[in-house]
Amino acid sequence: MIDDMDRAQTQEAFDRERALAQVQTRIAASLSPRDTRVDGCCIDCEQPIEPARLHAMRHATSRCVACAAEHERHLRGGR
């Protein structure tokens, strides 16, 4: 018989696996080459990347200004 504790543990394991799969998908997407000239969307927020940024970066960016700044902060350990 499955009790509440078993159900909670099963749900927690499911949630953890789903979160891990989402992270793995995002990592794979960030590492795979993208032609931003075609879609021009940020890989994090999925909003359009500013045309001036695309031009300045020669279409070699996959993040908008806000998400790129947040990504840099995260890489530096939140500083």
pLDDT tens digits, one per residue of 3-53: 888 898 999 999 999 999 998 988 887 777 655 455 688 989 989 999 999
CA–CA dist 23, 63 (Å, integer) = 17
Yes or no: say if 50 and 65 are a contact pair by the CB < 8 Å rule.
yes
Kindly state the DSSP code that residue 32 receives in the 8-state scheme. S
Domain positions in the chain are 4-75
Which amino acid appears at position 15 of this protein? D
pLDDT tens digits, one per residue of 40-78: 889 899 899 999 998 888 878 889 999 999 999 988 886
Instruction: Name the CA dihedral angle for 47, 78, 24, 55, rounded to a multiple of 10 degrees.
Output: 40
- What is the pTM for the complete model shown? 0.49
How many other CB atoms sit within 10 Å of the CB of residue 62?
22
